[in-house]
């Protein structure tokens, strides 16, 4: 081990909450410096006391220096140069960097926003114009135009002949319809065009609620024939973020503007906004409807549920009736208890009956749903928990939700602005000179762009990226694709390339710009080296050195012998009378076998 010299340790011992304005070297080991920030990071992680004195710092400095000397020994052995070490550290770095490659303020705002929205439940209907987020601009334009014309019709503004003609042109130029025409198939073309041409008729015959009248005729949602677009009640984090935002920002009774999500374009109508009902746990007794039950069947089964309700009112226990008579076999064994649910998760009549019960233990009158007749018993209701209790759960759900990308988007925008991002789209589009249908069949090579030179396409903070980098990325993104517009495709891949380049740049700066990240990564690095060193010097060495292990055993085996112990026989007796007899016999010094014989004879 090399000698340690503490150059600024005395100053650190006298610190007051570790001033953040400087980062002096506090010790050197083997010629390598250790800064105050690194020591402070590890010290505070392992010392949670609010008041810190000089002795605590010095004691920990001694432990820390020993730890660092072991790390130096590992480095001297070259353990930090092995491929396995580099691979493991790179994996940890990717994990540690992830939280730094998003905008923290944006993420915190999303968490707070989600909780505030959780206080309310929205009842809405929607019309969906299906359009993948991977569609090309000409296809998204067709979908957006159709959605816009439908939305205008709902609020009373019918499409003109010119607008219908313009939409027809867009439709004929779309990728799917072109493909269908090539196959002599015009079914989808006619359906989409008629959904726009007939909007005036749909509006005229749509009844009092034009949204409900038009939705089944125009929506691509496969459930619309059954629900007329009705989504029931929902709350924050139940829907994709853009849809949720539109729902919460649209007033009750109004129709939203066209909203884009990964599923396509949506038009929403908000019907109600109510305070969050919370989460309820209930039990139920159920009489099921047979498949395709008629009104007569439902009426007859009402008699059966009334009989069970009469048993309840006569004093029989709810749970006993549920176990014996409920036809919901998944819950009957539990006395009818169901999993907790929130508003909008069960049929409306069942939900209203459950939340309509005033206190735990109350039981409803029979209520009918599309599944059968139910008697509902309230077991427990939980309101919305305080923010501090839900924050961790909300954060995890936000990270799994599409809104998590907003933090990345904000980060990219910030990095571009701070570093003077510039782009040359004319230079980018030169790649079209060497791009052909081989790209769609995944056989194109980036080397075909070599003759274009390496003209600059994007630049920021003295970093420049040209045609060679972009062509290489194009080749990486190559998959087998259906015939499409190559210019649109280049635009899509270019946007992805820019995002990855900007994020990679920010990632590469983390050790410089974020001291906390640098120290955390250093901590992981040193931990891996200490583990590998201990493995080589202690664990693996002990396993392989069988002669040494045997010698150690022979030398130390007497240190682990038991002290004197007692040999005990326990007699368990059926009652006090037998216990008294046993005690007398034992007092006379009777041995075990003789004792048993005497007992058997005595008891018989």
pLDDT digits (tens, 9 = 90+) for 376-420: 999 999 999 999 999 999 999 998 888 888 999 999 999 999 999
| Residue with more model confidence, 465 or 543 | 465
Say what the pLDDT of residue 544 is. 80
Say what the pLDDT of residue 602 is. 59
Q: Where are the beta strands (DSSP E) in 294-418?
A: 341-342, 367-369, 372-382
Say what the pLDDT of residue 483 is. 77
Say what the pLDDT of residue 133 is. 82
Whether the predicted model's global pTM rises above the 0.85 cut: no
Mean pLDDT, all residues of the chain: 90
Say what the pLDDT of residue 53 is. 79
Quote the CA–CA distance of 275 and 383 in Å, as a whole number: 10
Tens digits of per-residue pLDDT, 165-213? 999 999 999 989 998 998 999 999 999 999 999 999 999 998 999 999 9
Quote the CA–CA distance of 493 and 473 in Å, as a whole number: 8
Q: How confident is the model at residue 135 (pLDDT cuts 50, 70, 90)?
A: confident
- The answer to which of 3-7, 76-80, 518-522, 592-596 has the lowest mean pLDDT is 3-7
Collapse the DSSP code of 121 into the 3-class scheme (helix H, G, I; strand E, B; otherwise coil) and give the result. strand
% of the chain exceeding 90 in pLDDT: 68
Among 59, 63, 37, 30, smallest CA distance to 521 is for 37
Q: How confident is the model at residue 12 (pLDDT cuts 50, 70, 90)?
A: very low
Strand partners, 376: 284
Q: How confident is the model at residue 289 (pLDDT cuts 50, 70, 90)?
A: very high
Is the per-residue pLDDT at 9 higher than 50? no
Say what the pLDDT of residue 1 is. 42
Say what the pLDDT of residue 601 is. 62
Q: How confident is the model at residue 590 (pLDDT cuts 50, 70, 90)?
A: low
Is the per-residue pLDDT at 4 higher than 50? no
Quote the CA–CA distance of 47 and 40 in Å, as a whole number: 10
Q: How confident is the model at residue 14 (pLDDT cuts 50, 70, 90)?
A: very low
Quote the CA–CA distance of 89 and 81 in Å, as a whole number: 11
The mean pLDDT value for 339-367 works out to 94
Tens digits of per-residue pLDDT, 534-573? 988 888 877 788 888 888 888 988 888 887 778 888 888 8
Q: How confident is the model at residue 372 (pLDDT cuts 50, 70, 90)?
A: very high
Say what the pLDDT of residue 592 is. 67
Q: How confident is the model at residue 574 (pLDDT cuts 50, 70, 90)?
A: confident
Say what the pLDDT of residue 137 is. 84
The gap from C-alpha 403 to its chain's centroid, in whole angstroms, comes to: 11
Quote the CA–CA distance of 285 and 275 in Å, as a whole number: 28
| Residue with more model confidence, 22 or 406 | 406
Q: How confident is the model at residue 600 (pLDDT cuts 50, 70, 90)?
A: low
């Amino acid at each position: 081990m090399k000698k340690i010299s503490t150059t600024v340790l005395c100053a650190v011992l006298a610190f007051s909450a570790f001033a953040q304005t400087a980062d002096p070297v506090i010790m050197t080991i083997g010629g390598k410096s250790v800064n105050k920030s690194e020591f402070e990071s590890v010290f505070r992680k392992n010392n949670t006391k609010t008041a810190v004195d000089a002795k605590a710092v010095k004691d920990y400095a001694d432990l820390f220096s020993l730890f660092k000397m072991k790390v130096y020994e590992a480095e001297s052995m070259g353990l930090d140069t092995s491929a396995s070490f580099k691979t493991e550290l790179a994996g940890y770095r990717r994990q540690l960097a992830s939280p730094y490659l998003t905008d923290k303020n944006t993420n915190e705002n999303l968490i707070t926003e989600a909780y505030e929205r959780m206080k309310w439940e929205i009842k809405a209907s929607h019309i969906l114009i299906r359009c993948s987020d991977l569609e090309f601009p000409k296809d998204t334009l067709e979908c957006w135009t159709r959605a816009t014309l439908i939305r205008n019709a709902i609020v009373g503004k019918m499409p003109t002949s010119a607008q219908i003609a313009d939409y027809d042109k867009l439709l004929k130029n779309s990728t799917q319809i072109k493909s269908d025409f090539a196959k002599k198939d015009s079914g989808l073309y006619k359906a989409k065009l008629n959904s726009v041409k007939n909007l005036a008729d749909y509006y005229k015959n749509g009844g009092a609620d034009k949204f409900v009248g038009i939705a089944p005729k125009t929506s691509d949602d496969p459930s619309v024939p059954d629900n007329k677009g009705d989504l029931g009640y929902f709350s924050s984090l139940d829907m994709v973020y853009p849809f949720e935002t539109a729902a919460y920002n649209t007033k009750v009774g109004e129709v939203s503007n066209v909203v884009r999500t990964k599923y396509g374009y949506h038009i929403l109508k908000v019907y109600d906004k109510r305070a969050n009902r919370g989460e309820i746990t209930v039990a139920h007794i159920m009489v099921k409807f047979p498949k395709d039950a008629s009104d007569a069947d439902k009426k007859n089964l009402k008699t059966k549920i009334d009989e069970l309700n009469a048993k309840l009112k006569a004093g029989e226990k709810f749970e006993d009736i549920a176990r014996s008579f409920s036809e919901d076999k998944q819950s009957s064994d539990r006395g009818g208890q169901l999993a907790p649910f929130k508003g909008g998760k069960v049929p409306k009549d069942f939900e209203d009956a459950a939340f309509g019960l005033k206190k735990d233990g109350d039981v409803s009158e029979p209520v009918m749903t599309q599944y059968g007749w139910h008697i509902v018993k309230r077991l427990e209701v939980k309101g919305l928990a305080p923010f501090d209790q839900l924050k961790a759960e909300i954060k995890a759900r936000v990270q799994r939700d599409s809104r998590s990308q907003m933090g990345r988007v904000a980060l990219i925008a910030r990095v571009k602005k701070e570093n003077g991002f510039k782009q040359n789209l004319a230079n980018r589009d030169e790649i079209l000179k060497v791009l052909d249908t081989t790209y769609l069949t995944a056989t194109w090579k980036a080397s075909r762009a070599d003759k274009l030179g390496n003209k600059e396409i994007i630049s920021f903070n003295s970093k420049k990226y040209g045609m060679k980098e972009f062509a290489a990325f194009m080749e990486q993104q190559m998959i087998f694709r259906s015939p499409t517009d190559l210019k649109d495709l280049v635009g899509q891949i270019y946007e992805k390339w820019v995002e990855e380049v900007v994020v990679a740049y920010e990632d590469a700066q983390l050790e410089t710009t974020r001291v906390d990240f640098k120290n955390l990564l250093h901590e992981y690095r040193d931990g891996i080296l200490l583990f590998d060193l201990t493995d080589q010097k202690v664990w693996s060495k002990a396993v392989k050195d069988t002669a040494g292990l045997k010698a150690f055993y022979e030398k130390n085996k007497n240190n682990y012998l038991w002290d004197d112990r007692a040999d005990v026989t326990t007699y368990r007796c059926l009652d006090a009378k037998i216990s008294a007899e046993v005690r007398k016999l034992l007092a006379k010094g009777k041995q075990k076998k003789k004792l048993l014989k005497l007992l058997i004879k005595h008891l018989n």
